[in-house]
Structure 1
Protein backbone atom coordinates (compact mmCIF):
# COMPACT_ATOMS: atom_id res chain seq x y z
CA UNK A 1 0.00 0.00 0.00
CA UNK A 2 1.10 3.59 -0.61
CA UNK A 3 0.12 6.54 1.56
CA UNK A 4 0.38 10.11 0.34
CA UNK A 5 1.46 11.99 3.43
CA UNK A 6 3.00 15.07 5.02
CA UNK A 7 4.79 14.79 8.34
CA UNK A 8 3.03 17.85 9.78
CA UNK A 9 -0.53 16.71 9.01
CA UNK A 10 -2.55 15.66 12.09
CA UNK A 11 -4.90 13.61 9.91
CA UNK A 12 -1.97 11.73 8.40
CA UNK A 13 -0.65 11.17 11.90
CA UNK A 14 -3.92 9.61 12.96
CA UNK A 15 -3.66 7.09 10.13
CA UNK A 16 -0.02 6.34 10.92
CA UNK A 17 -0.80 5.78 14.60
CA UNK A 18 -3.54 3.34 13.64
CA UNK A 19 -1.15 1.53 11.30
CA UNK A 20 1.46 1.18 14.03
CA UNK A 21 -1.02 0.13 16.68
CA UNK A 22 -2.24 -2.57 14.31
CA UNK A 23 1.26 -3.65 13.26
CA UNK A 24 0.70 -2.63 9.64
CA UNK A 25 3.21 0.19 9.27
CA UNK A 26 5.78 -1.95 7.44
CA UNK A 27 3.17 -2.75 4.78
CA UNK A 28 2.75 0.93 3.88
CA UNK A 29 5.11 2.94 1.67
CA UNK A 30 5.05 6.64 2.49
CA UNK A 31 4.91 8.99 -0.49
CA UNK A 32 5.66 12.64 0.39
CA UNK A 33 2.97 14.94 -0.96
CA UNK A 34 2.74 18.63 -0.20
CA UNK A 35 -0.85 19.85 -0.22
CA UNK A 36 -2.53 23.13 0.59
CA UNK A 37 -5.91 24.78 -0.05
CA UNK A 38 -4.40 26.93 -2.80
CA UNK A 39 -1.86 24.56 -4.38
CA UNK A 40 -3.20 21.07 -4.99
CA UNK A 41 -0.75 18.28 -5.67
CA UNK A 42 -1.41 16.81 -9.17
CA UNK A 43 -0.15 13.38 -8.11
CA UNK A 44 -2.69 13.24 -5.29
CA UNK A 45 -5.49 14.75 -7.41
CA UNK A 46 -5.03 11.89 -9.89
CA UNK A 47 -6.31 9.55 -7.18
CA UNK A 48 -8.35 11.86 -4.93
CA UNK A 49 -10.16 14.79 -6.63
CA UNK A 50 -10.00 16.90 -3.47
CA UNK A 51 -6.21 16.70 -3.52
CA UNK A 52 -6.22 16.19 0.22
CA UNK A 53 -3.98 13.97 2.30
CA UNK A 54 -3.96 11.34 3.58
CA UNK A 55 -4.86 9.33 0.50
CA UNK A 56 -4.15 5.60 0.51
CA UNK A 57 -3.53 3.53 -2.62
CA UNK A 58 -4.25 -0.17 -2.22
CA UNK A 59 -2.27 -2.87 -4.00
CA UNK A 60 -4.90 -3.06 -6.75
CA UNK A 61 -4.77 0.69 -7.35
CA UNK A 62 -7.97 1.54 -5.47
CA UNK A 63 -7.75 4.91 -3.67
CA UNK A 64 -9.18 5.43 -0.20
CA UNK A 65 -9.74 8.81 1.50
CA UNK A 66 -10.17 10.54 4.05
CA UNK A 67 -8.44 9.68 7.36
CA UNK A 68 -11.61 8.17 8.85
CA UNK A 69 -12.09 5.79 5.95
CA UNK A 70 -8.40 4.87 5.77
CA UNK A 71 -8.18 4.25 9.51
CA UNK A 72 -11.21 1.97 9.48
CA UNK A 73 -9.90 0.09 6.46
CA UNK A 74 -6.58 -0.58 8.18
CA UNK A 75 -8.33 -1.61 11.37
CA UNK A 76 -10.44 -4.14 9.47
CA UNK A 77 -7.37 -6.04 8.27
CA UNK A 78 -7.19 -9.25 10.32
CA UNK A 79 -10.16 -8.14 12.41
CA UNK A 80 -11.22 -4.82 13.92
CA UNK A 81 -9.70 -3.69 17.21
CA UNK A 82 -9.62 0.09 17.37
CA UNK A 83 -13.14 0.50 15.98
CA UNK A 84 -15.61 -1.27 18.28
CA UNK A 85 -17.84 -3.55 16.22
CA UNK A 86 -21.27 -2.48 17.43
CA UNK A 87 -23.38 -0.97 20.17
CA UNK A 88 -22.72 1.93 22.51
CA UNK A 89 -18.95 1.42 22.44
CA UNK A 90 -18.86 1.92 18.68
CA UNK A 91 -20.94 5.10 18.72
CA UNK A 92 -18.88 6.47 21.59
CA UNK A 93 -15.60 5.88 19.73
CA UNK A 94 -16.94 7.35 16.49
CA UNK A 95 -18.40 10.41 18.23
CA UNK A 96 -15.13 11.02 20.07
CA UNK A 97 -13.27 10.74 16.77
CA UNK A 98 -15.67 13.26 15.22
CA UNK A 99 -15.17 15.71 18.09
CA UNK A 100 -11.40 15.42 17.78
CA UNK A 101 -11.48 15.73 13.99
CA UNK A 102 -13.62 18.85 14.15
CA UNK A 103 -11.21 20.35 16.69
CA UNK A 104 -8.33 19.51 14.36
CA UNK A 105 -10.17 21.06 11.43
CA UNK A 106 -10.69 24.32 13.32
CA UNK A 107 -7.01 24.40 14.27
CA UNK A 108 -6.02 23.88 10.64
CA UNK A 109 -8.27 26.76 9.58
CA UNK A 110 -6.51 28.93 12.15
CA UNK A 111 -3.18 27.86 10.70
CA UNK A 112 -4.25 28.64 7.13
CA UNK A 113 -5.64 32.04 8.13
CA UNK A 114 -2.53 33.13 10.01
CA UNK A 115 0.14 31.64 7.75
CA UNK A 116 -1.17 31.10 4.20
CA UNK A 117 -3.57 34.00 3.78
CA UNK A 118 -1.91 37.33 2.85
CA UNK A 119 -1.68 39.54 5.92
CA UNK A 120 -3.87 42.29 4.50
CA UNK A 121 -6.69 39.77 3.91
CA UNK A 122 -6.64 38.08 7.29
CA UNK A 123 -9.88 38.08 9.30
CA UNK A 124 -9.25 38.29 13.03
CA UNK A 125 -12.83 37.42 13.96
CA UNK A 126 -12.60 34.26 11.83
CA UNK A 127 -9.46 33.16 13.67
CA UNK A 128 -11.07 33.83 17.04
CA UNK A 129 -14.13 31.84 15.99
CA UNK A 130 -11.99 28.83 15.14
CA UNK A 131 -10.06 29.21 18.39
CA UNK A 132 -13.35 29.19 20.30
CA UNK A 133 -14.27 25.88 18.62
CA UNK A 134 -10.92 24.41 19.62
CA UNK A 135 -11.18 25.47 23.25
CA UNK A 136 -14.82 24.39 23.66
CA UNK A 137 -13.88 21.00 22.21
CA UNK A 138 -10.97 20.67 24.62
CA UNK A 139 -13.30 21.57 27.47
CA UNK A 140 -15.70 18.82 26.45
CA UNK A 141 -12.85 16.30 26.30
CA UNK A 142 -12.11 17.15 29.94
CA UNK A 143 -15.72 17.30 31.11
CA UNK A 144 -17.37 14.47 29.16
CA UNK A 145 -14.87 12.12 27.56
CA UNK A 146 -12.22 11.26 30.15
CA UNK A 147 -13.73 7.87 30.92
CA UNK A 148 -13.65 6.95 27.24
CA UNK A 149 -10.13 8.31 26.85
CA UNK A 150 -8.72 6.42 29.80
CA UNK A 151 -10.34 3.13 28.83
CA UNK A 152 -9.21 0.76 26.10
CA UNK A 153 -7.55 2.53 23.17
CA UNK A 154 -9.93 3.25 20.29
CA UNK A 155 -10.01 5.39 17.19
CA UNK A 156 -11.54 8.07 19.42
CA UNK A 157 -8.62 8.27 21.81
CA UNK A 158 -6.16 8.18 18.90
CA UNK A 159 -7.93 11.08 17.18
CA UNK A 160 -8.01 13.06 20.44
CA UNK A 161 -4.32 12.43 21.09
CA UNK A 162 -3.39 13.56 17.58
CA UNK A 163 -5.58 16.67 17.88
CA UNK A 164 -3.97 17.72 21.16
CA UNK A 165 -0.54 16.94 19.74
CA UNK A 166 -1.27 19.25 16.81
CA UNK A 167 -2.15 22.06 19.21
CA UNK A 168 1.18 21.60 20.95
CA UNK A 169 2.95 21.56 17.57
CA UNK A 170 1.34 24.58 15.91
CA UNK A 171 -0.23 26.54 18.77
CA UNK A 172 1.93 26.00 21.87
CA UNK A 173 0.66 29.23 23.45
CA UNK A 174 -3.04 28.41 23.15
CA UNK A 175 -3.03 27.10 26.73
CA UNK A 176 -5.31 24.09 26.30
CA UNK A 177 -4.00 22.52 29.53
CA UNK A 178 -5.06 25.45 31.71
CA UNK A 179 -7.76 24.27 34.12
CA UNK A 180 -7.77 20.83 32.54
CA UNK A 181 -5.37 18.88 34.71
CA UNK A 182 -7.05 15.50 34.16
CA UNK A 183 -7.00 15.81 30.39
CA UNK A 184 -3.40 17.01 30.47
CA UNK A 185 -2.43 14.02 32.65
CA UNK A 186 -4.13 11.62 30.24
CA UNK A 187 -2.37 13.17 27.27
CA UNK A 188 1.04 12.99 28.88
CA UNK A 189 0.52 9.24 29.33
CA UNK A 190 -0.92 8.72 25.86
CA UNK A 191 1.76 10.78 24.11
CA UNK A 192 4.53 8.40 25.15
CA UNK A 193 2.98 5.41 23.39
CA UNK A 194 5.48 4.12 20.79
CA UNK A 195 2.99 4.83 18.00
CA UNK A 196 2.70 8.47 19.07
CA UNK A 197 6.42 8.92 19.60
CA UNK A 198 7.20 7.47 16.16
CA UNK A 199 4.71 9.79 14.40
CA UNK A 200 5.47 13.11 16.13
CA UNK A 201 4.93 15.92 13.59
CA UNK A 202 7.81 17.79 12.00
CA UNK A 203 7.77 21.04 10.09
Structure 2
Protein backbone atom coordinates (compact mmCIF):
# COMPACT_ATOMS: atom_id res chain seq x y z
CA UNK A 1 0.00 0.00 0.00
CA UNK A 2 1.16 3.53 -0.74
CA UNK A 3 1.64 5.96 2.13
CA UNK A 4 0.95 9.70 2.28
CA UNK A 5 3.01 11.67 4.80
CA UNK A 6 1.13 14.81 5.80
CA UNK A 7 -0.41 16.63 8.78
CA UNK A 8 -4.02 17.67 9.42
CA UNK A 9 -3.44 21.46 9.18
CA UNK A 10 -1.61 21.27 5.84
CA UNK A 11 -3.63 22.68 2.92
CA UNK A 12 -1.24 20.98 0.51
CA UNK A 13 -1.83 17.67 2.25
CA UNK A 14 -5.54 18.32 2.22
CA UNK A 15 -5.59 18.82 -1.55
CA UNK A 16 -3.94 15.42 -1.99
CA UNK A 17 -6.42 13.76 0.38
CA UNK A 18 -9.27 15.44 -1.46
CA UNK A 19 -7.94 14.23 -4.80
CA UNK A 20 -7.58 10.71 -3.39
CA UNK A 21 -11.25 10.72 -2.40
CA UNK A 22 -12.48 12.22 -5.66
CA UNK A 23 -10.49 9.74 -7.72
CA UNK A 24 -11.52 6.71 -5.66
CA UNK A 25 -8.00 5.99 -4.43
CA UNK A 26 -8.43 6.26 -0.65
CA UNK A 27 -8.26 2.49 -0.17
CA UNK A 28 -4.87 2.36 -1.87
CA UNK A 29 -3.13 5.01 0.22
CA UNK A 30 -2.59 5.09 3.98
CA UNK A 31 -2.24 8.53 5.55
CA UNK A 32 0.50 8.92 8.15
CA UNK A 33 1.11 12.08 10.16
CA UNK A 34 4.45 13.80 9.75
CA UNK A 35 6.07 16.50 11.86
CA UNK A 36 8.28 18.71 9.70
CA UNK A 37 9.74 20.36 12.81
CA UNK A 38 11.06 17.09 14.25
CA UNK A 39 14.57 16.14 13.01
CA UNK A 40 13.89 12.56 14.09
CA UNK A 41 10.87 12.22 11.81
CA UNK A 42 11.64 9.94 8.85
CA UNK A 43 10.16 12.59 6.53
CA UNK A 44 13.59 14.17 6.02
CA UNK A 45 14.87 10.90 4.62
CA UNK A 46 11.80 10.49 2.43
CA UNK A 47 11.87 14.06 1.09
CA UNK A 48 15.26 15.78 1.34
CA UNK A 49 13.43 19.12 1.66
CA UNK A 50 11.61 17.86 4.75
CA UNK A 51 8.28 19.12 3.37
CA UNK A 52 4.82 17.65 3.16
CA UNK A 53 2.99 16.12 1.46
CA UNK A 54 5.17 13.22 0.37
CA UNK A 55 3.75 10.11 -1.29
CA UNK A 56 5.67 6.89 -0.72
CA UNK A 57 4.99 4.46 -3.55
CA UNK A 58 4.76 0.71 -3.15
CA UNK A 59 8.26 0.29 -4.63
CA UNK A 60 9.70 2.68 -2.04
CA UNK A 61 10.16 5.65 -4.34
CA UNK A 62 8.83 8.97 -3.05
CA UNK A 63 6.97 11.72 -4.88
CA UNK A 64 6.77 15.20 -3.39
CA UNK A 65 5.10 18.49 -4.18
CA UNK A 66 1.34 18.34 -4.18
CA UNK A 67 1.03 19.20 -7.87
CA UNK A 68 3.29 16.28 -8.81
CA UNK A 69 1.35 13.95 -6.53
CA UNK A 70 -1.97 15.04 -8.08
CA UNK A 71 -0.53 14.32 -11.52
CA UNK A 72 0.39 10.82 -10.37
CA UNK A 73 -2.99 10.20 -8.77
CA UNK A 74 -4.74 11.27 -11.97
CA UNK A 75 -2.51 8.83 -13.87
CA UNK A 76 -3.45 6.02 -11.46
CA UNK A 77 -7.13 6.79 -11.95
CA UNK A 78 -6.82 6.42 -15.72
CA UNK A 79 -5.92 9.98 -16.70
CA UNK A 80 -8.01 12.96 -17.67
CA UNK A 81 -9.99 13.01 -14.43
CA UNK A 82 -8.74 16.10 -12.58
CA UNK A 83 -6.15 17.08 -15.19
CA UNK A 84 -7.75 17.26 -18.63
CA UNK A 85 -5.91 16.59 -21.85
CA UNK A 86 -5.37 19.20 -24.53
CA UNK A 87 -5.45 22.97 -24.21
CA UNK A 88 -7.84 22.95 -21.23
CA UNK A 89 -5.07 21.33 -19.17
CA UNK A 90 -3.09 24.56 -19.05
CA UNK A 91 -5.95 26.57 -17.61
CA UNK A 92 -6.32 23.99 -14.85
CA UNK A 93 -2.57 23.98 -14.17
CA UNK A 94 -2.55 27.79 -14.06
CA UNK A 95 -5.42 27.91 -11.58
CA UNK A 96 -3.78 25.24 -9.44
CA UNK A 97 -0.55 27.24 -9.39
CA UNK A 98 -2.33 30.45 -8.42
CA UNK A 99 -4.25 28.74 -5.61
CA UNK A 100 -1.01 27.09 -4.45
CA UNK A 101 0.56 30.55 -4.39
CA UNK A 102 -2.20 31.86 -2.14
CA UNK A 103 -1.51 29.00 0.25
CA UNK A 104 2.25 29.58 0.09
CA UNK A 105 1.84 33.27 0.94
CA UNK A 106 -0.54 32.44 3.78
CA UNK A 107 1.89 29.89 5.20
CA UNK A 108 4.77 32.38 5.06
CA UNK A 109 2.64 34.80 7.08
CA UNK A 110 2.01 32.03 9.60
CA UNK A 111 5.73 31.24 9.82
CA UNK A 112 6.57 34.91 10.39
CA UNK A 113 4.49 34.86 13.56
CA UNK A 114 5.36 31.37 14.68
CA UNK A 115 9.11 31.47 14.42
CA UNK A 116 10.05 35.09 15.09
CA UNK A 117 10.07 36.93 18.35
CA UNK A 118 7.56 39.81 18.05
CA UNK A 119 10.31 42.42 18.10
CA UNK A 120 11.93 40.84 15.02
CA UNK A 121 8.81 40.45 12.92
CA UNK A 122 8.74 42.44 9.71
CA UNK A 123 5.39 44.12 8.98
CA UNK A 124 6.55 44.94 5.44
CA UNK A 125 7.19 41.24 4.78
CA UNK A 126 3.77 40.34 6.14
CA UNK A 127 2.15 43.03 3.98
CA UNK A 128 4.05 41.76 0.94
CA UNK A 129 2.68 38.24 1.42
CA UNK A 130 -0.80 39.56 2.25
CA UNK A 131 -0.81 41.47 -1.05
CA UNK A 132 -0.03 38.27 -2.94
CA UNK A 133 -2.97 36.60 -1.25
CA UNK A 134 -5.27 39.50 -2.03
CA UNK A 135 -4.28 39.66 -5.70
CA UNK A 136 -4.88 35.93 -6.03
CA UNK A 137 -8.25 36.17 -4.33
CA UNK A 138 -9.18 39.19 -6.46
CA UNK A 139 -8.41 37.20 -9.61
CA UNK A 140 -10.62 34.31 -8.53
CA UNK A 141 -13.35 36.69 -7.38
CA UNK A 142 -13.34 38.22 -10.87
CA UNK A 143 -12.93 34.87 -12.62
CA UNK A 144 -14.87 32.58 -10.32
CA UNK A 145 -14.93 28.98 -11.59
CA UNK A 146 -18.21 27.32 -12.39
CA UNK A 147 -19.67 25.70 -9.29
CA UNK A 148 -19.44 21.89 -9.48
CA UNK A 149 -22.63 19.86 -9.36
CA UNK A 150 -20.78 16.73 -8.20
CA UNK A 151 -17.28 15.48 -7.48
CA UNK A 152 -16.88 14.52 -11.13
CA UNK A 153 -16.93 18.23 -12.07
CA UNK A 154 -13.85 19.01 -9.95
CA UNK A 155 -10.36 19.49 -11.36
CA UNK A 156 -6.93 20.12 -9.87
CA UNK A 157 -7.45 23.87 -10.05
CA UNK A 158 -10.82 24.00 -8.32
CA UNK A 159 -9.96 21.50 -5.60
CA UNK A 160 -6.79 23.47 -4.83
CA UNK A 161 -8.76 26.71 -4.67
CA UNK A 162 -11.22 25.14 -2.24
CA UNK A 163 -8.35 23.98 -0.03
CA UNK A 164 -6.77 27.45 -0.17
CA UNK A 165 -9.99 29.09 1.00
CA UNK A 166 -10.37 26.47 3.71
CA UNK A 167 -6.87 27.23 4.94
CA UNK A 168 -7.63 30.95 5.10
CA UNK A 169 -10.70 30.12 7.19
CA UNK A 170 -8.56 28.10 9.57
CA UNK A 171 -5.67 30.55 9.95
CA UNK A 172 -7.23 33.96 9.38
CA UNK A 173 -10.89 33.56 10.26
CA UNK A 174 -13.46 35.10 7.94
CA UNK A 175 -11.47 38.17 6.88
CA UNK A 176 -11.36 37.11 3.22
CA UNK A 177 -15.10 36.45 3.22
CA UNK A 178 -15.98 40.08 3.86
CA UNK A 179 -14.75 41.25 0.46
CA UNK A 180 -15.12 38.19 -1.80
CA UNK A 181 -18.83 37.28 -1.91
CA UNK A 182 -18.59 35.33 -5.17
CA UNK A 183 -15.89 33.09 -3.73
CA UNK A 184 -17.91 32.58 -0.56
CA UNK A 185 -20.90 31.42 -2.62
CA UNK A 186 -18.64 29.26 -4.77
CA UNK A 187 -17.06 27.56 -1.77
CA UNK A 188 -20.50 26.86 -0.29
CA UNK A 189 -21.54 25.25 -3.57
CA UNK A 190 -18.29 23.28 -3.76
CA UNK A 191 -18.74 21.89 -0.27
CA UNK A 192 -22.33 20.90 -1.01
CA UNK A 193 -21.33 19.09 -4.20
CA UNK A 194 -18.15 17.43 -2.91
CA UNK A 195 -18.71 15.54 0.38
CA UNK A 196 -14.99 14.74 0.63
CA UNK A 197 -14.28 18.42 1.23
CA UNK A 198 -15.95 18.27 4.64
CA UNK A 199 -14.35 14.89 5.33
CA UNK A 200 -10.87 16.38 4.84
CA UNK A 201 -11.56 19.55 6.82
CA UNK A 202 -8.80 20.91 9.03
CA UNK A 203 -9.55 21.66 12.69
CA UNK A 204 -12.91 23.39 12.81
CA UNK A 205 -11.94 26.35 14.99
CA UNK A 206 -9.52 28.94 13.56
CA UNK A 207 -5.98 28.09 14.62
CA UNK A 208 -3.80 31.07 15.64
CA UNK A 209 -0.97 31.68 13.22
CA UNK A 210 1.57 31.23 16.00
CA UNK A 211 0.06 27.98 17.31
CA UNK A 212 2.55 25.19 17.94
CA UNK A 213 1.35 22.69 15.34
CA UNK A 214 3.27 20.82 12.61
CA UNK A 215 4.41 23.05 9.78
CA UNK A 216 2.05 23.43 6.86
Q: Does TM, scored on the shorter chain, surpass 0.5? A: yes
Tell me, yes or no, if the aligned pair for 2:35 and 2:41 is still in contact at 8 Å: no
Structure 2: state its 5+ residue gaps: 208-216
1:88-144: CA deviation from partner (whole Å, max 9, x where unpaired): x10110000000000000000000011222222211111111111111110100112
User: C-alpha displacement at 1:79, in angstroms?
Assistant: 1.1
Partner of 1:170: 171
Partner of 2:36: 35
Mean CA deviation greater in 99-108 or 186-195: 186-195
Give me the whole-angstrom Cα distance separating, in 2, the residues matched to 1:17 and 1:179. 26
- After superposition, the CA RMSD in angstroms is 1.5
1:17-62: CA deviation from partner (whole Å, max 9, x where unpaired): 00000011121111111114xx555401111100000001000001
SS of structure 2 residue aligned to 1:191: helix
User: C-alpha displacement at 1:179, in angstroms?
Assistant: 3.4
SS of structure 2 residue aligned to 1:46: helix
Tell me, yes or no, if the aligned pair for 1:161 and 1:190 is still in contact at 8 Å: yes
**How does 1:97-176 map onto structure 2 within 5 Å?**
97-144=96-143, 146=144, 148-150=145-147, 152-173=153-174, 175-176=175-176
Change in CA separation of 1:42 and 1:159 when aligned onto 2, cut-off 3 Å: same
Tell me, yes or no, if the aligned pair for 1:104 and 1:166 is still in contact at 8 Å: yes
1:197 aligns with 2:198: yes
1:46 aligns with 2:41: no
Give me the whole-angstrom Cα distance separating, in 2, the residues matched to 1:164 and 1:12. 14
Partner of 2:180: 180
Between the two proteins, the alignment pairs up a number of residues equal to 197
SS of structure 2 residue aligned to 1:139: helix
Tell me, yes or no, if the aligned pair for 2:34 and 2:41 is still in contact at 8 Å: no
Partner of 2:86: 86
Give me the whole-angstrom Cα distance separating, in 1, the residues matched to 2:40 and 2:6. 11
Length-normalised TM-score, structure 1: 0.92
